[in-house]
Structure 1
Amino acid sequence: MNKQKIHIVDTTLRDGSHAVSHSFTTEQAAEIAGSLDKTGVSLIELSHGDGIAGSSINYGFSTTPELELLKAAKPAVKNAKLTVLLIPGIGTIEDLKEAEECGIAAVRVATHVTEADTGIQHIQYAKSAGLMAVGFLMLSHMASPEKIVEQAKIFVDAGADYINIADSAGYMVPNDVRARISLLKSSIDIPVGFHSHNNLGCAIANSLAAVEEGATYIDATCRGLGAGAGNTQIEVLCAVLNRLGYDTGVDIYGLMDVAEKNVEPVMQRPQMINTASLMLGYAGVYSSFLLHTYRAAEKFGLNPRDILVELGRRQMVGGQEDMIVDVAYALVQQQKNK
């Protein structure tokens, strides 16, 4: 038995929100969060897919305000930490204070991989309020391992409890993960976590590579529900970790039941690697761009693959969803001028 404890972070009610067009109801939030809590996961993340205050024309409106979802979920969460994601520039400290009033215990402050400084005040506020605070570096394939260490140290100095690096585009393969996690783990004195997307079919392999290099917080979702081709599938991940002798502290049968009985019925489509989500990983494009790209492709009569390749070429990052329409329009003009 590997005695290293692996903390499982469930993001079904946050990253999974992308895949259901931010349509979770209060009943679903309470049922899924309560069922997950009974399985022994460490953190349950709940917010709009783009973090608190993400409900907007740019990122997609939530059917139910996330504060109502948090209020509904809180009584059902007895053991895990009810958690929100906050992307500076989308969410503010005032938004975080409102989430506090709903009973959250942790916040993950997510910035682009080279912009950790934009999250300093949010980490510092969270710690002053007694919350667990996590520094979350998105699109980590876009920076070298050395740059990631530099940015992580900004979060460490601000008081973060652990650093999470995210393969937000599902672009990395196991060796990419190993290089980043191993250097980060040897360079800072707080725990390291990892968040994966399955656009190239590598989510489980990448998560295992992260664990083997010392990551102790791993993100996953029921049925892999999430942006793009989805996230690391939690019930599969925990079964594999169990077989390898890692201590996750979770009830694997319970996770299977939550995925089958609570999450699968609310899915709008099977979570799969289709051509467009494969292109997200291949081009290195932020996974939450997928549905926006489909809409733009339909509106302008374009192949979504062409839009995704151009977004990747321009190195668009999370928060630039509004540029997808501009890119589509520019491609149409290029075609007319040929």
Structure 2
Amino acid sequence: MSIIITDTTLRDGSHSVRHQFSKENIASLVSGMDKAGVSIIEVGHGDGLAGSTCNYGFTKESDTDMVQVAAQTAQNARIAVLLLPGIGTVPDLQKAWDAGARVVRIATHVTEADISHEHIEAARKMGFFTIGFLMMAHRAQPEKVLEEARKMESYGAQVVYATDSAGALLPDGVRQRVALLKEKLSIPVGFHSHNNLGLAIGNSLAAIEAGATYIDGSLGGLGAGAGNTATEMLTTVLERANIPTGIDLFGIMDTATQVLQPIISSLGVTLPKTQDAMMLGYAGVYSSFMLHARRAAERFGVDYRKIIITAGERGAVGGQEDWLYRIAREIAESK
């Protein structure tokens, strides 16, 4: 089983920067994610197409410009948009298609799938890969989530998501909802998490265990509230679990740290630095190794991540920090 990760940095993450991503920011981030192998990249206002209003906050760029620059930049990834019926309209959807979007997520409250009928049908006729997005999934019992998901499936949705918009679900609640959708629907199931209870990664894993094959993330976890599942963390965890995603681990980490971080810093936003901890967990080595790995990397001019991973592969334990310098030298000599 492989997992398709949709990155929402440039849509859900837009909430965190007051929707102020520029065309240059979008091009840089799409380029990095595309090269790293992200399959679907969602762009736009945090509240979807036509969300740029006094009610929800104005974007720096228009919907059309954001989609257009993303579509022109991406070589392999498909560009996605979000549409909330009542905010976005079918004509807005047509404009997004004309600008280059090829995936749309039609989002409704978990008990209101019926209002998505017109938009899902229209999206399918235009040629979009069309996803139903049931928001605030914790507000409905699994059987009700299934009832609403079946409506979206009947309208033509090709995937249906259980969306934990409030970050309120616990892993058992995720499993119950996703497992029921997986059992009863004839289309794939997706899951979108928020980290408000610190469970974004755990809930995403629970969703995968229950049968979800579409999972959302955002670089650095950038998103509304406490943020989303961090794409680079999710990639790391799934790679450790031998679950393929098609994403290059170092590539997505570098996009998060070298591309996203400077952009959001310029917009007054900071994110926790998690990359070092992530690599220690991925490699399974003592946390105290990091300082020595970075010193060795600087001394020999190599990537500290390769040192940490090799130390883990060789089973290094506490007291063997000298191995890190030997490993660094070997990596340098093999260049």
The answer to whether the Cα contact below 8 Å between 1:163 and 1:193 also exists between their aligned partners in 2 is yes
The answer to whether the Cα contact below 8 Å between 1:182 and 1:213 also exists between their aligned partners in 2 is yes
Q: Does 1:180 align with 2:177?
A: yes
Poorly superposed stretches of 4+, deviation over 4 Å: none
The correspondence of residues 188-199 of structure 1 with structure 2, limited to 5 A, is 188-199=185-196
The answer to whether the Cα contact below 8 Å between 1:229 and 1:271 also exists between their aligned partners in 2 is no
Instruction: Quote how far apart the aligned CAs of 1:140 are.
Output: 0.4
Q: Does 1:233 align with 2:230?
A: yes
The correspondence of residues 1-338 of structure 1 with structure 2, limited to 5 A, is 4-267=1-264, 268-271=268-271
SS at match of 1:247: coil
Deviation per residue, 1:125-168 (Å, 9 max, x gap): 11111110000000000000000000000010011110011100
The answer to whether the Cα contact below 8 Å between 1:106 and 1:133 also exists between their aligned partners in 2 is yes
Instruction: Quote how far apart the aligned CAs of 1:269 are.
Output: 2.3
SS at match of 1:44: strand
Instruction: Quote how far apart the aligned CAs of 1:119 are.
Output: 0.6
- More relative contact order, 1 or 2 (CA 8 Å, 6+ apart): 1
Structure 2: any 5+ residue segments left out of the alignment?
A: 273-335
Instruction: Quote how far apart the aligned CAs of 1:220 are.
Output: 0.1
SS at match of 2:8: strand
> 2 CA distance for matches of 1:102 and 1:263?
24
Which range moved further: 228-237 or 36-45? 36-45
> 2 CA distance for matches of 1:72 and 1:219?
22
Amino acid across the alignment from 1:8: I
> 2 CA distance for matches of 1:125 and 1:114?
21
Instruction: Quote how far apart the aligned CAs of 1:223 are.
Output: 0.3
Q: Hey, what does 1:314 align to over in structure 2?
A: none
Deviation per residue, 1:200-256 (Å, 9 max, x gap): 100000000000111000000000000011000010111000101101111111100
Larger gyration radius, structure 1 or structure 2: 2
TM-score, with length taken from structure 1: 0.78
Cα RMSD of the aligned pairs, angstroms, is 0.9
> 2 CA distance for matches of 1:72 and 1:33?
9
SS at match of 1:165: strand
Instruction: Quote how far apart the aligned CAs of 1:173 are.
Output: 1.1
The answer to whether the Cα contact below 8 Å between 1:17 and 1:48 also exists between their aligned partners in 2 is yes
> 1 CA distance for matches of 2:229 and 2:82?
18
Overall identity of the aligned pairs, in %: 50
Instruction: Quote how far apart the aligned CAs of 1:41 are.
Output: 1.3
SS at match of 1:30: helix
Instruction: Quote how far apart the aligned CAs of 1:271 are.
Output: 3.9
* Pairs aligned (count): 269
Instruction: Quote how far apart the aligned CAs of 1:39 are.
Output: 1.3
> 2 CA distance for matches of 1:209 and 1:84?
26
The answer to whether the Cα contact below 8 Å between 2:71 and 2:78 also exists between their aligned partners in 1 is no
The answer to whether the Cα contact below 8 Å between 1:41 and 1:250 also exists between their aligned partners in 2 is yes
Amino acid across the alignment from 2:191: F
